[in-house]
Amino acid sequence: MPLQKILLCLDPDPQPSTFDTIVAIDAGVDQVLRHGGVDPSQVRGLVHGAMFTRGGVQLCRTALFIGGSDVAASERLLEMAQACFFGSVRVSLMLDPSGANTTAAAAVVAASRHVPLGPETTALVLGATGPVGERVVRLLAAEGVRLRVVSRRLTRASAICERIAQRASHATLLTAHTMEPGGMETLLDGAQLVVAAGAAGVELLAASDRKAARSLVVAIDLNAVPPAGIAGIEPQDQGLIREGHACYGALGVGRLKMKIHHGAIASLFTTNDLVLDAEEIYALGKELA
């Protein structure tokens, strides 16, 4: 008889995410072991406990999920967890701090329904320096999309461009911009895709600017808290055509995000050697879409 599926959740936040726990249960996990306030020094003991209690083909019945609201801290936990593995003695793991990887994957998959993802497409990413925005840029860059990376501070946008260019050597068309009054018309000129991934409750694109963008095909707003990040888009929009643009709101993208999240969790228990970061979750999302 197969052993129960156990998911070990490591969260650098003091209180582990209830959202991640419920999604794991809905994805078919039998037992969820939640640990909050985890720092790198504690990872080894926790991961070894998950690795050494089962062996051989039963290792795939245990998996590891790393969440949290501090992306850098979560990424450090991922590094420490991977350092615990040796040979075939390992468990599959998934990184999704604040849902950034699954949300970004869903946004890019949604965009691909309307525009080709390649050098023939220009995308504008607003709020690109946040956890979700940076991952949207990463995934679009890997597809060869021409990118305009926008932040309120040019230095932060430039830093994102440098990091992404190192990951995707062919992403030579990354350009950094700052949000300036009256500058949105220029930023949108020739862009087929715009994604707003800024802070909750902050309008980044006015309705008049979106409506006037002649080249725009699809607009995606990932902010569910009023006011919308892109004015005129409703949170539940799911490819709804508004003024000639296919529009997605946060809840519309969220439906696909949840499908990807469930699928990613389920896949962890098919083998013991998966490492699901943004790119791997996106690849899974394309299969599930």
What CATH number corresponds to the domain at position 154?
3.40.50.720
The whole-angstrom separation of Cα 161 and Cα 124 is 13
| Strands, E assignment, 159-201 | 175-178, 193-196
Query: Which among 95, 123, 138 is the end of a domain?
Result: 95
Q: Which of 25, 27, 26, 45 is nearest to 35 (CA)?
A: 45
Which domain range does residue 55 map to? 6-95
Residue 261 included in any domain: no
Assess whether 161 and 226 both reside in one domain: yes
- Mean pLDDT over 164-183 rounds to 76
Assess whether 86 and 37 both reside in one domain: yes
pLDDT tier, 201 (very low <50, low <70, confident <90, very high otherwise):
confident
Query: Which among 48, 71, 95 is the end of a domain?
Result: 95
Number of domains the chain contains: 2
Assess whether 56 and 130 both reside in one domain: no
Assess whether 111 and 89 both reside in one domain: no
Cβ–Cβ under 8 Å, residues 222 and 250: yes
| Strands, E assignment, the chain | 6-10, 31-35, 62-66, 92-95, 122-126, 146-151, 175-178, 193-196, 218-221, 238-242, 245-248, 275-276
Residue 1 included in any domain: no
Q: For the segment 269-284, what is each residue's pLDDT rounded down to a tens digit?
A: 999 999 999 999 999 9
Rg (CA), the chain: 20
Among positive and negative, which fits the CA dihedral 71, 74, 80, 86?
A: negative
Assess whether 135 and 212 both reside in one domain: yes
Q: What pLDDT does residue 176 have?
A: 80
Residue 279 included in any domain: no
Residue 182 included in any domain: yes
For 161, other C-beta atoms within 10 Å of its C-beta total 22
Is it the case that residue 172 has pLDDT exceeding 60? no
Assess whether 121 and 206 both reside in one domain: yes
Q: For the segment 223-260, what is each residue's pLDDT rounded down to a tens digit?
A: 989 999 999 999 999 999 999 999 999 999 999 999 99
Assess whether 153 and 131 both reside in one domain: yes
Residue 158 included in any domain: yes
Q: What pLDDT does residue 179 have?
A: 77
Assess whether 120 and 165 both reside in one domain: yes
Assess whether 174 and 202 both reside in one domain: yes
Instruction: Find the range with the poorest average confidence among 37-51, 147-161, 216-230.
Output: 147-161
Q: What pLDDT does residue 236 have?
A: 96
Q: For the segment 84-111, what is each residue's pLDDT rounded down to a tens digit?
A: 999 999 999 999 999 999 999 999 999 9
Q: What pLDDT does residue 37 have?
A: 97
Query: Which among 71, 95, 119 is the end of a domain?
Result: 95
Q: What pLDDT does residue 171 have?
A: 65
- Which helix or strand (DSSP H or E) is residue 156 part of? helix 154-167
The pair of three-digit structure tokens given for residue 261, joined into one six-digit string? 């999240």
Assess whether 173 and 46 both reside in one domain: no
The whole-angstrom separation of Cα 146 and Cα 116 is 12
Assess whether 90 and 152 both reside in one domain: no
The whole-angstrom separation of Cα 268 and Cα 282 is 15
Residue 154 included in any domain: yes
Amino acid, res. 243 = E
Residue 263 included in any domain: no
> What is the CATH number for 69?
3.40.50.10280
Arithmetic mean of pLDDT over the chain: 94
- Establish whether the linkage from the previous residue to 181 is cis, with ω within 30° of 0: no
Q: What pLDDT does residue 278 have?
A: 97
Residue 126 included in any domain: yes
Is it the case that residue 173 has pLDDT exceeding 80? no
Assess whether 112 and 202 both reside in one domain: yes
